[in-house]
């Protein structure tokens, strides 16, 4: 039996496209390979064949790092799509141009897109991206990678199998802008809650921040269609950095210290008036720690070959952005409950990652250091 090899390219050849893995020295929520080029390079069914970026130095560094000849490195995305026969394309650009590139890639007939987050700046852009991918049959994966982390996956399995009883609450502590890294926090809440958000309350960092369109921090209360409630604290979290608490009627799972420590608690007999006591039990560890990027690629290939849905796809990316905007709209309207979906699709949050995006993030970080 012949196994198909997929031809892949990366658009946006900076940190998430190529070099982010070099910064990781410990696991936590990340296991390597994680970002796009290293994952394609390590995957046995993928050949990394091309890259596109408007910056000359980015293309040179990427080509040398991954052994790609300059004739397959492009300043213009359209030229790359026209000349290369591509099956997979990663879009690791600033969100400012993500909509236009995603639509062009889908229209070019590429079978799978691996997108960075947030999906876009506005709901209108997100809708157009979803429509283009659905029209052209393009499978998608959004790099909200906690969905492919084995510990978060095990927690979701326990939720689905009823090991925690009836799910009551998901609480997240993640100081972040609601659009930029908030896309990770909101997506993880949605994944663990195993439902869809129907309405929210939100409180932003200030009235002035809520009136603008720039990324902002805030807190939110989320109501799900399956009865689960969730709380997100994206204002300063003190010692609780990127922690998640999943509470059920018969069990509880806590992810602490950026997913470095995991706890499971169940109810046992005893205690005052025999009402039961919480007891900590071992949380299952996987037999192998596999790079999450490899699992994302596997999921995307399965979607292409069997028309399945990856753990986080373009509709999940849109949902995270919509929830972030709804939380801000709640504050704008004096703490009113905001129902989803939002009617005004022109609403937007300008993700923090677009600031100074005329210059590669790698260069900005070098200058700052």
**pLDDT over threshold 80, residue 2:** no
Q: What does the block give as tokens for 108? A: 């070019």
Model pTM above 0.75: yes
- The predicted-structure confidence for 211-246, as pLDDT tens digits, reads as follows 999 999 999 999 999 999 999 999 999 999 999 999
Phi then psi for 152, rounded to 5 degrees? -65, -35
* Cα 173 from Cα 231, distance rounded (Å): 9
Is the bond preceding 211 in cis, omega lying within 30 degrees of 0?
no
- Percentage of residues in the chain with pLDDT exceeding 90? 89
Fold agreement (6-146+291-312, 149-286+319-339)? no
* CA–CA gap between residue 175 and residue 177 (Å, rounded): 7
Query: Residue range 78-99: average pLDDT?
Result: 97
Pairing mode of beta strands 251-256, 261-268: antiparallel
The pLDDT tens digits of the residues spanning 131-143 come to 999 999 999 999 9
CA distance 234 to 322: 16
Q: Mean pLDDT for the chain?
A: 96
Domain ranges of the chain: 6-146+291-312, 149-286+319-339
In this prediction, residue 1 carries a pLDDT of: 46
Q: What whole-number percentage of the chain has pLDDT above 70?
A: 99
| pLDDT of amino acid 60 | 97
Given a cut of 70, whether residue 290 has pLDDT beyond it is: yes
pLDDT digits (tens, 9 = 90+) for 154-188: 999 999 999 999 999 999 999 999 999 999 999 99
Q: Which residue has the higher pLDDT, 368 or 334?
A: 334
Sheet holding 218-224, edge to edge: 277-281, 261-268, 251-256, 243-248, 167-173, 229-233, 218-224, 197-204, 338-339
| Per-residue model confidence as pLDDT tens digits over 233-285 | 999 999 999 999 999 999 999 999 999 999 999 999 888 888 889 999 999 99
- What is the Cα 267 distance to its own chain's centre? 33
CATH code that applies to domain 6-146+291-312: 3.40.50.720
In CATH, the architecture of 149-286+319-339 is 2-Layer Sandwich (3.30)
């Amino acid at each position: 039996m012949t196994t198909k090899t997929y031809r892949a390219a990366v658009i946006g050849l900076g940190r998430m496209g190529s070099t982010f893995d070099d910064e990781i020295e410990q696991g936590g929520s990340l296991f390597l390979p994680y970002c796009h080029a290293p994952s394609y390079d390590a995957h046995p069914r993928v050949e990394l064949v091309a890259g596109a970026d408007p910056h000359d130095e980015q293309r040179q560094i990427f080509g040398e790092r991954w052994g790609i000849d300059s004739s397959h490195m492009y300043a213009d995305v359209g030229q790359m799509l026209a000349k290369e026969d591509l099956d997979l394309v990663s879009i690791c650009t600033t969100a400012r141009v993500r909509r236009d590139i995603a639509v062009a890639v889908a229209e070019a007939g590429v079978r799978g897109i691996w997108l960075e987050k947030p999906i876009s700046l506005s709901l209108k852009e997100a809708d157009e991206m979803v429509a283009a991918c659905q029209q052209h049959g393009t499978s998608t994966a959004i790099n909200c990678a906690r969905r492919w982390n084995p510990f978060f996956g095990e927690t979701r399995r326990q939720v689905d199998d009823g090991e925690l009883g009836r799910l009551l609450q998901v609480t997240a502590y993640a100081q972040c802008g609601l659009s930029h890294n908030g896309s990770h926090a909101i997506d993880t809440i949605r994944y663990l809650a195993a439902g869809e958000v129907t309405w929210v309350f939100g409180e932003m960092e200030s009235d002035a921040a809520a009136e603008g369109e720039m990324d902002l921090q805030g807190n939110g209360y989320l109501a799900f269609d399956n009865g689960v409630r969730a709380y997100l604290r994206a204002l300063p979290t003190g010692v609780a950095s990127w922690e998640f608490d999943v509470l059920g009627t018969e069990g509880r799972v806590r992810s602490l210290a950026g997913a470095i420590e995991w706890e499971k608690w169940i109810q046992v007999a005893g205690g005052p008036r025999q009402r039961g006591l919480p007891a900590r039990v071992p949380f299952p560890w996987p037999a192998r720690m596999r790079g999450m990027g490899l699992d994302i690629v596997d999921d995307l290939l399965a979607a292409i070959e069997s028309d399945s849905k990856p753990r986080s796809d373009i509709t999940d990316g849109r949902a995270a952005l919509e929830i972030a905007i709804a939380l801000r709209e709640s504050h704008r309207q004096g703490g009113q409950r905001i129902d989803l979906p939002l009617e005004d699709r022109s609403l937007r949050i300008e993700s923090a990652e677009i600031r100074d995006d005329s210059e590669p993030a790698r260069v900005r970080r070098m200058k700052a250091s």
